[in-house]
Every structure is written in C-alpha cells, then in structure tokens.
Structure 1
Amino acid sequence: MKPKPSASVLRVLAAAGLSLLLLAACRKQAPEELAGAASEPAASVRQLATHLQNNDLVGFARDALPPDVHARLDSAWRAGHSRWPLTELPLDDKLVQMLAALSAKEAEKTLQRSFDRQFARQDRDLKEAARTLGLFGVQYVKNEGDYTQEERDHYAQVIAALGDWAQRAPLGDPALARATLARLAPAARRSGLTNEQALNEAGMVASLQRLTPVFIEAKATFARYGLPLDTTFTDLRTGLVEEKGDTATVRIHYPLGEREIDTVVSLTRRDGRWYLTDYLRHADAVLAAVPAPDTLPPAPAADGEPPTPP
C-alpha cells in the first residue's frame, strides 16, 4: 500500500495548484501588446489613458497639449472663452447645468422623484430609446458634424459599443439611481462649480482638481451599471503604424463594454514631444475664436467715471 501524503504536503500542492491557476488566469487576461508599443508616439497616447485611469485630470490636460498652448487655454478659460479639455466630453455643454442640478438643496430627493416619475422600471422603453439614439448617433458622426475621418471611425465604434451596453444596463432600477445620486450629489456640491463664473474664477487647473471627485464618482456609477471604464483605460493598447518626420499614426485598441474598439489616431511632434493632432486642432480652434484685446468691451466703471478702455 502506498503511503498517504501528509496534510502539509497536500496544503503545499493545493497552494501550488492555486498559484498556477492564478498565473494562467493572469496570462489569459493580460492584453497583448501591439507592434510598436514601445515607440514614443504610442507611449504618449497610452500615458493619457493612464492619467484617466489614475483620475489625474490635471495631468491629462498638462500632457495632452504643449505647455504654451496649455497656458493660453488657461487664460482663455479664466475669461470664459474655453472649457477645454471638458469640451472633449460628450454633452460638455450640459456639464455646468448637471453640476448645478446635483448641487441643489435636497437634490437627491428631487432628482429621485423625477427619476421615479419618468424612468423607474421603464426598462423596455429606455432600451428602445437607447437603441434608437445609438443608431442615430452612429449615422450622425459618420455623415455630419465637423469631424475628421479618424474621429468619425472612432466615435462610430464608441457609440455602437455604448448602445450595446445600454441594452443590458439596468437603467430603470430605482435602487441604483438612488445609490448614484447619493454619491454624485455630494461630490458635485464639494466642487462648488455650479455656474460659469465659478469656473472662470477657479481657472482650468483648479477647476479640474475640483472636478476630480465628480469624475471618480462618474466612473464608479458606470461600473455599477456594468461599464467598468477603468478596465477600458487599463487594457488600452497602442502601437505604431507609421512615423514620418514630425507626424505619426498610432493604432489604439481597447475594450468598451462587450466590444473591442480598434482605431487609429494621428499625432504631431512639437518641441520634441508627441500630441494627438485632433487635440491640437481643437485647441487651435478655441484660441482662434478668443477675441483680441482691442475688440473686448470696455470694463465697467464706477458711477461718474468714464469706462476703462480694454
């Protein structure tokens, strides 16, 4: 008769087996690197995703544009002419309105009552609305609007992925809505950014710092509804497609819900660093629209005094 293994040996074997299973799972889940991942253009794109994963909105804005452009945008922000990088978000023009609604007194109760009247347990209608909006959104970005071809290809994939997610998400769940409002409303109140004047006075950097808790809670909300954005940022992979002089093309691949987004972006090198060409284009458009100093209206004067010239 063969001797039975001792309990200590069984424990060692079990621990070793568990370790092997965990290692195998890690190998299975680890995203595969793309060709050219170590290149500077590919690393620059990946760095921006890392900032978002780490909830570092200030770092994202700092590394997304050259320092001189960043400084000019901060000045434009204080004058109320820019809200970049918030303008890279969907529904950016509704952000202040949403912050104000969430910051209102007893917003949790007021917004919950509104949710209960309009959306609670209306899952079928919400999913149909999401499906319709998704179809419309894909067609819109493919054919309308001021988008580059790269943006059209990318946004169409993102909208389709979000449409799929919305078909499965418990959007009509009152308990989830209550939990979301209980966390988002206090974060919005702490920001103190409930109107345009508050954003102007804070400036770009301080505004992004104060919006960070809202961003964290927004990501947590999406995770509760089945869309873990941190997984998107963590598993984002980049690879170099082409580099010619001061221009480059980088492939981006990342999971979003049940879909895999696969797209390419263009980068431009300025002063030795690589930046997304679309971000540079958006920033240039914002700065080009800033009124010149001699076209600004005169500053208000005290009673009995002439207006101060610009």
Structure 2
Amino acid sequence: MRFHSLRHALLPLFAVLALAACHSKDEASQVGGSTPEAAVQGSIDLLKAGNFDGLWKHALPPADYATLRTDWSRHTAANQPPVSAADKAKFDEAVQKLTGPDAENKLYAEMQPKLGQMEQQYKDQLPVMISVGDALLKNGVAQNKNLDSEQKAQANQLLDVLAPWAQQAPWFDQARAKQAVGVVVATARKLDLKSPEQLRTMDFDTAMAKYTTGYAGLKQLLTIYGLSVDEALDSVKLSTLSNKDGRAVVKIDYTLLGKPLSAESTLVQQDGRWYSESLISSVREAHERLQQPAAAGSTALAALPAPAVAASAATKN
C-alpha cells in the first residue's frame, strides 16, 4: 500500500461518503470507543480531520495497530519491479510541471484554450459517458465477492446520487478550473515527492502524512465542483440497531448532495472497547498473507485497506 495506493485511497469516494459525522473529540483521542456509537463518532472526527494515523490507531485494537505498522515496514522496493528510466523521466517531468516556479499560471494558460475545445467536443457526450461509467461501476459492485448484499445496496445508492452530480458538474467552467489548478499545484508542493523510489520506501508515518495532504486536496477539489465531503459528514445521525454478545450494528443516516442515504457499521468489543470488525479482519488477513511464500507475500500489501477505505471499514462493515 505504497503511494500507488493513494490514488485508490482517494478516488473511491463512496468509501469516504458512506460515513457519519460526529464531534466526540474525547473518543477520537482514545483507542476504540466506549460504546459502538462512540467508536463510529471517534472515527468520523479523525476522518474529517484527515488524521489517518489516528484513525488506524483508534479503529484497531493496539495489537492489530502494531501489526499494521510492522507489516508496513516489511515491504521494500525489492518487492516491486525496478523503475524504468522512461518512467522516472515522466515522473520528474510531471513533478516539475506541478511544482515549478509560477506553475499555477503556466498550467492554467495551457489548460484554458483546451477547456473551450473540450466543452464543444464533449459537453453533449459527457452525460452518456458518465452513464456508461456508472453502469460499469455497478457491474463491478455486483461481481465483487468481498461485498455482501447490504454493502452492494449501499454502494449502488451512492452511485445513484453521485452519477447525476457528475453529469451536471461544471467541469468546463474557466473560473473553477483555475481554482482547481491552484489546489492541485499547492497539494503537489506539500506532498514534496522527489522520486518514484521515494514512493516505494515510505515508512508508515510518512505515508500517513502524505495521505492526509492528498485527502485535503481532494476535498478542496470536490468542493469547487459542488460536492462537499464535510457537509456529508456533518449530516450524520447514528442509531444502534443491535448490541449483543460483544458485537453491535450501528445505523448511519446521512445526506449526500441533498439526498438521504443510510449505511450500517458492525463493531466488535475487545477489552472493554469497540472496534471495526471489517478493519480488524482486513489487517489480520493481510498479515497472514505476509507469512506465505515470497510470491504471495509480495502482494500482501495490496490487501491492506487504503486509508479512505479503512475509514469506511472503521464505520461501515
């Protein structure tokens, strides 16, 4: 789960939006929750703040959090194919373009005439293209063996809200494009990426800091085009559906783009505190894969949930 996972951590928006927003700062600063709802509340506070290290620490029992950190450091660049000279050159060119002097104005000047051309070419086609993409995503959800029927229904509900937004969002608006370029450049500078090799050898703490920076930039970009992640998080209402024998299900009602939605989160009790059932399982399964032969172990890192997905797993079974 090195930096290539950042893209996957940030793009699956439903994994972030199918969460609740609460304000239990005391719970967020502790490991686990004193009640199932408090566990969800603490996770959401950390998610809203973009504190991914804190989210892992809060949502996992101490032993599993320690396992996660240890497993992370076991993965090195040796487990991946070497970076080619051509890929390194492309990386260096992209970084220079995004972070060089006056990058904001240079990039926008390059983009501005293309926006008009793209609007003329794709304005009428874009809704159809998004509809096709929506259908492909729903098919992927239907074929996903890791999701149960309830999770598939929740994912489809989110797609039903997000697709119309994507079809109507002002993607070709010049003023918004200029703002977006500014956010992308500012985020790239804060990420301060020096080489492809750096992405492969980040330790856990460094990687979490990079995720935090990327997540903040993504939220800004979405807000520019009319989708506020924080508003969705702030809209949440929680209620406990069941709590028996150390296992509880919490219902999450929230509003996304004016549409009411709901999800469910399953939590388990350990040593008097409540944690995400799905997140615990994901970390333990990834750890087991690491104990297998090298060929299998080299892919175990990909099995670990990315931070935004981990945020969902911490609150949505």
* TM category, shorter: 0.5 to 0.7
| SS of structure 2 residue aligned to 1:50 | helix
Deviations, residues 44-70 of structure 1 (Å, cap 9, x unaligned): 112211112222222212112122212
Residues 294 and 177 of structure 1, relative CA distance in 2, 3 Å threshold: closer
| 1:196-215 matched pairs, under 5 angstroms | 197-215=197-215
The match for 2:267 is: 267
The match for 2:146 is: 146
The match for 2:167 is: 167
Counterparts of 1:101 and 1:256, CA distance in 2: 38
* Larger CA deviation: 195-204 vs 125-134: 195-204
Counterparts of 2:149 and 2:93, CA distance in 1: 36
- 1:62 aligned residue (35, 57, 61): 57
* 1:160 partner amino acid: D
Q: CA deviation at 1:103?
A: 5.6
| SS of structure 1 residue aligned to 2:124 | helix
- 1:44 aligned residue (34, 39, 42): 39
* 1:183 partner amino acid: V
Residues 113 and 272 of structure 1, relative CA distance in 2, 3 Å threshold: farther
| Residue 182 (1) aligns with residue 182 (2) | yes
Counterparts of 2:164 and 2:128, CA distance in 1: 11
* 2:287 partner amino acid: L
The answer to whether the Cα contact below 8 Å between 2:179 and 2:224 also exists between their aligned partners in 1 is no
The answer to whether the Cα contact below 8 Å between 2:92 and 2:195 also exists between their aligned partners in 1 is no
The answer to whether the Cα contact below 8 Å between 2:34 and 2:272 also exists between their aligned partners in 1 is no
| SS of structure 2 residue aligned to 1:274 | strand
Residues 196 and 265 of structure 1, relative CA distance in 2, 3 Å threshold: farther
The match for 2:124 is: 124
* % identical equivalent positions: 20
Deviations, residues 271-296 of structure 1 (Å, cap 9, x unaligned): 22222222222222221221459998
The match for 1:225 is: 225
* Larger CA deviation: 284-293 vs 62-71: 284-293
Deviations, residues 211-236 of structure 1 (Å, cap 9, x unaligned): 32322121111111110110111122
The match for 1:105 is: 96
Counterparts of 2:154 and 2:177, CA distance in 1: 30
Q: Which runs of 5+ in 1 are unaligned?
A: 1-30, 32-37, 82-96, 298-310
Q: CA deviation at 1:241?
A: 0.1
Q: CA deviation at 1:243?
A: 0.7
The match for 2:16 is: none
| SS of structure 1 residue aligned to 2:38 | helix
Q: What is the CA RMSD across the aligned residues, in angstroms?
A: 3.4
The match for 2:237 is: 237
Counterparts of 1:102 and 1:158, CA distance in 2: 36
Q: CA deviation at 1:193?
A: 4.4
Q: CA deviation at 1:136?
A: 2.5
TM-score when normalising by structure 2: 0.66
Residues 257 and 103 of structure 1, relative CA distance in 2, 3 Å threshold: farther
The match for 2:84 is: none
| SS of structure 1 residue aligned to 2:70 | helix
Residues 111 and 61 of structure 1, relative CA distance in 2, 3 Å threshold: farther
* Larger CA deviation: 184-193 vs 57-66: 184-193
Counterparts of 1:268 and 1:115, CA distance in 2: 52
Indicate the structure (1 or 2) with the bigger Cα radius of gyration: 1
* 1:187 partner amino acid: T
* 1:142 partner amino acid: A
- 1:79 aligned residue (74, 78, 96): 74
The answer to whether the Cα contact below 8 Å between 2:232 and 2:255 also exists between their aligned partners in 1 is yes
| SS of structure 1 residue aligned to 2:290 | coil
Residues 112 and 217 of structure 1, relative CA distance in 2, 3 Å threshold: farther
Residues 65 and 39 of structure 1, relative CA distance in 2, 3 Å threshold: closer
The answer to whether the Cα contact below 8 Å between 2:183 and 2:220 also exists between their aligned partners in 1 is no
Residues 193 and 255 of structure 1, relative CA distance in 2, 3 Å threshold: farther
| SS of structure 1 residue aligned to 2:142 | helix
Deviations, residues 234-258 of structure 1 (Å, cap 9, x unaligned): 1222110001111111101111223
